[in-house]
Homo-oligomer: A and B are copies of this chain.
Amino acid sequence: MTGARRGPGRPPRAEAAEGPDARTRILEAARAEFAERGYDKTSVRGIAKAAGVDPALVHHYFGTKDEVFAAAIEVSFEPELIVPAVLGESTEGIGERLARYFLSVWENPATRAPLLAVIRSALTHEAAAKVLRGFVLRRVLERVAADLDVPDPKFRAELAASHMIGIAILRYVVRVEPLASATPDEIVATVAPTLQRYLTEA
Contact = CB atoms under 8 A, between A and B. Distances in A.
Interface of A: 116, 119-120, 122-124, 129, 132-133, 137-138, 141, 152, 154-156, 158-159, 161-167, 169-171, 173-179, 182, 186-187, 190-191, 193-194, 197-198
A162 B155 contact: no
Given A155-B179, A179-B155, A190-B156, A129 B166 contact: no
Nearest to A190: B159
The A contact surface, by secondary structure, is helix
Nearest to A38: B124
A198 B167 CA distance: 14
B178 A167 contact: no
A123 B119 contact: yes
Nearest to A187: B159
A123 B173 contact: yes
B158 A162 contact: no
Contacts of A197: 193-194
B176 A141 contact: yes
A174 B141 CA distance: 14
A99 to B, nearest CB: 11
Given A120-B123, A158-B178, 7 more contacts: A120-B124, A123-B169, A137-B174, A158-B176, A158-B179, A165-B169, A190-B198
